[in-house]
């Protein structure tokens, strides 16, 4: 299908390219033309569909660089508890009851929320990643899987099988190596994981330095921080990333930079669980790329990148006691371009010819977007999910003006979710 999106303001997120009036042409799953409007009549072309953007903003979709999509069933179930108690007493016991069908529909529920939030790709860590992949493929959602390997679920052999399978199955799905965290994995298991990393010469991702208790526990076990300990095993020879990275010291930050790793911050989850405020401004100052994730609905509780962007900027300013330490443009880059890089989605970072047609339309005809002194600042400081007018992934419009086009009615997904939750709560 060939689509023309015209009468738009366009923010490509290419470096040093300002917003311009223009249009974008899409064929199949790719962008084929990005045209600044200069007043002259554009060459005549035939399109299967033409979408008038009504002077609203086209931009790359948000990249949710850390999520647990299948945890939507725990939204508002286990709130107001510290992380370790939250996990051991509430989360793990409920997850032990899950069936494959449960996870399948819980992921679909998350996808609905991603689409209405302008999220065009998600970096997902959850048990039974095959189910997440199939749910996302059915709905047209782009997903990068990573393993939640730990002492109780999966195995290094299973991770390798998933890596080979999901990097060669669907253009919507890819897979990066990962494990849950140092504190949920034995040293033997982590050593096996590091061996796989080095054999495949691949990056690896995990929860790292999320809480002070996690760091203290690792120091008791191994005499050093989680990040430093994992590096002694050869875990990060090919880079990767750390989810959260709240409680890091200068030596950790130096290692992140040395290994070319990404920090993936989750400010809403860290705030709600009282895990702490990550030193985002310090990471940026040291040249460490930062991306943004929502974490799961059990700890957030909304899968909303607008909220995450505001908190990323606001908490950085609060931590440094410096309102100028973190600009909106930098944070918007974290939520789009940096997220794509962290997820290894190199074809989905900016709007340019040859790139994937993963984009969103922002409704500027709303009071929270006016006046238009600076659109990027409006997005970060006053934007909300209500401003998402359209979400396109791979050239397919999956959400527009409050309606979903995912091959299934949302009401059916809601019924299946409620049925599963009722059974789990028995």
Where does residue 16 rank: exposed (0-12), middle (13-18), buried (19+ CB within 10 A)? Answer: exposed
| 372 within a domain of the structure (yes/no) | yes
408 Cβ contact partners less than 8 Å away, ≥ 6 residues apart: 108, 138, 139
Same domain, 253 and 209: yes
3-state secondary structure of 388: strand
Residue 423 exposure: Cα atoms within 13 Å on the Cβ side = 12
Residue 272 CB coordination number (10 Å): 17
Enumerate the H helices of 243-287 as residue ranges. 250-258, 267-272, 280-285
- The answer to whether the beta carbons of residues 264 and 342 sit under 8 Å apart is yes
Domain end residue (candidates: 342, 360, 391): 342
Q: Locate tokens 């990275």: which residue?
A: 245
Residues linked to residue 264 through DSSP beta bridges, in sequence order = 243, 291
Check pLDDT > 80 for residue 82.
no
Helix (H) or strand (E) holding 175: strand 173-181
Residues 262, 68: Cα–Cα separation, whole Å: 18
Q: How confident is the model at residue 79 (pLDDT cuts 50, 70, 90)?
A: confident
Using DSSP, state whether 234 is helix, strand or coil.
coil
> Are residues 138 and 56 both part of a single domain?
no
Which three-class secondary structure state does DSSP give residue 120? strand
Write down which residue in 342, 360, 376 finishes a domain. 342
pLDDT at 22: 96
Q: Residue 40 above 60 pLDDT?
A: no
75 occurs within a structural domain: yes
Backbone angles phi, psi at 236, to 5 degrees: -115, 30
Q: Is 295 inside any structural domain?
A: yes
Token match 């390219």: residue? Answer: 17
The answer to whether residue 426 is domain-embedded is no
Rounded distance between C-alpha atoms, residue 326 and residue 284, angstroms: 9
Q: How confident is the model at residue 38 (pLDDT cuts 50, 70, 90)?
A: low
> Are residues 283 and 156 part of one domain?
yes
- Mean per-residue pLDDT for 116-136? 97
Strand spans (E) along 266-346: 290-292
Sign of CA dihedral 224, 218, 256, 273: negative
Distance, in Å, from the CA atom of 127 to the CA atom of 124, rounded to the nearest integer, reads 10
Same domain, 229 and 364: no
Nearest Cα neighbor of 66 from 159, 157, 181, 152 is 181
User: Nearest-CA neighbor of 183 among 161, 155, 143, 152?
Assistant: 152
Question: Is the pLDDT confidence value at 39 over 60?
Answer: no
Task: Give the C-alpha distances (Å, rounded to integers) separating 237 from 148, 177, 213, 227, 232.
Answer: 20, 13, 26, 12, 10
| Contact by Cβ (8 Å): 283, 312 | no
Q: Is residue 96 in a domain? A: yes
Provide the pLDDT for residue 43: 64
Q: Please give the sequence-ordered ranges of beta strands (E in DSSP) within 266-419, or none if there are none.
A: 290-292, 359-362, 388-393, 396-400, 403-404
**Which of 325, 342, 359 is the last residue in one of the domains?**
342
Question: Residue 363: which pLDDT band, with cuts at 50, 70 and 90?
Answer: very high
**411 found inside a domain:** no
Beta carbons of 263 and 281 less than 8 angstroms apart: no
Does residue 9 register a pLDDT over 70?
Answer: yes
Tally of domains in the chain: 2
Question: Does 70 share its domain with 96?
Answer: yes
Closest C-alpha to 193, from 253, 229, 251, 149: 149
- The answer to whether residue 41 scores a pLDDT higher than 60 is no
Given a cut of 90, whether residue 166 has pLDDT beyond it is yes
| Strand partners of residue 226 | none
On whether residue 425 sits in a domain, the answer given is no
Work out the percent of the chain whose per-residue pLDDT is above 90. Answer: 91
pTM above 0.85, yes or no: yes
The kind and range of the H/E element at 137 are helix 129-139
Residue 420 resides in a domain: no
Beta bridge partners of 174: 144
CATH number for the domain spanning 43: value is 2.30.40.10
Q: Are residues 129 and 192 in the same domain?
A: yes
pLDDT digits (tens, 9 = 90+) for 185-234: 999 999 999 999 999 999 999 999 999 999 999 999 999 999 999 999 99
pLDDT > 80? residue 83 = no
Confidence of residue 80 (pLDDT cuts 50, 70, 90): confident
Question: 48 and 123: one domain?
Answer: no
pLDDT in tens, 301-338: 999 999 999 999 999 999 999 999 999 999 999 999 99
Does residue 352 share a domain with residue 322? no
Based on the fold, state whether residues 78 and 12 are members of the same structural domain. Answer: no
Contact 133, 93 (CB under 8 A): no
- Whether residue 368 sits in one domain with residue 325: no
Question: Which domain CATH number covers 122?
Answer: 3.20.20.140
Mean pLDDT of the chain: 96
| Local confidence band at 373 (pLDDT 50, 70, 90 cut-offs) | very high
**Do both 237 and 277 map to the same domain?**
yes
pLDDT for the residue 89: 87
385: enclosing H helix or E strand: none
Average pLDDT over residues 241-269: 98
CA distances from 195 to 51, 157, 189 (A): 50, 11, 10
Residue 245 structural domain: 62-342
Q: Within the chain, what is the greatest distance between any pair of CA atoms?
A: 70
Q: In this structure, are 251 and 279 located in the same domain?
A: yes
Whether the CB-CB separation of 286 and 257 falls below 8 Å is answered with yes
Name the pLDDT band for 37 (thresholds 50, 70, 90). confident
């Amino acid at each position: 299908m060939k689509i023309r999106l015209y009468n738009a303001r366009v923010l490509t997120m290419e470096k040093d390219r300002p917003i311009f009036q223009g249009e974008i042409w899409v064929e199949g799953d790719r962008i084929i033309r990005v045209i600044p409007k200069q007043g002259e009549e554009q060459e005549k072309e035939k399109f299967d569909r033409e979408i008038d953007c009504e002077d609203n903003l086209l931009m790359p979709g948000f990249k949710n660089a850390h999520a647990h999509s299948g945890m939507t069933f725990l939204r508002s179930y286990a709130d107001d508890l510290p992380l370790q108690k939250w996990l051991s007493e509430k989360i793990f016991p409920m997850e032990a009851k899950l069936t494959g069908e449960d996870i399948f529909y819980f992921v679909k529920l998350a996808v609905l929320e991603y689409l209405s939030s302008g999220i065009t790709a998600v970096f997902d860590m959850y048990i039974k990643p095959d189910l997440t992949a199939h749910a996302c493929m059915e709905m047209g959602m782009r997903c990068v899987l990573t393993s939640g390997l730990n002492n109780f679920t999966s195995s290094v052999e299973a991770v390798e099988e998933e890596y080979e399978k999901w990097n060669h199955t669907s253009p919507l799905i890819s897979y990066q190596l990962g494990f849950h965290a140092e504190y949920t994995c034995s040293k033997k298991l982590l050593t096996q994981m590091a061996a796989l990393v080095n054999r495949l010469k691949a990056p690896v991702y995990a929860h790292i330095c999320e809480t002070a208790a996690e760091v203290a526990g690792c120091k008791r076990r191994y005499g050093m921080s989680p990040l430093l300990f994992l590096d002694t095993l050869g875990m990060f020879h090919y880079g990767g990333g750390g989810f959260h990275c709240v409680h890091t010291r200068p030596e950790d930050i130096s290692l992140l930079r040395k290994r070319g790793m990404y920090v993936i911050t989750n400010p809403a989850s860290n705030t709600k669980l009282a895990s702490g405020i990550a030193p985002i401004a310090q990471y940026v100052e040291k040249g460490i790329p930062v991306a943004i994730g929502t974490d799961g609905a059990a700890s957030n509780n909304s899968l909303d990148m607008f909220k995450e962007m505001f908190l990323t900027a606001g908490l950085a300013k609060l931590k440094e006691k410096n309102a100028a330490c973190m600009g909106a443009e930098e944070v918007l880059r974290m939520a789009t371009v940096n997220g794509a890089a962290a997820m290894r989605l190199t074809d989905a970072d900016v709007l340019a010819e040859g790139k994937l047609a993963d984009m969103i339309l922002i409704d500027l005809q709303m009071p929270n977007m006016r006046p238009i002194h600076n659109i990027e600042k409006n997005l970060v400081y006053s934007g909300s999910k209500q401003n998402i007018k359209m979400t396109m992934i791979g050239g397919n419009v999956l959400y527009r003006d409050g309606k979903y086009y995912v091959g299934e009615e949302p009401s059916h997904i809601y019924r299946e979710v409620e049925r599963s939750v009722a059974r789990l709560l028995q």
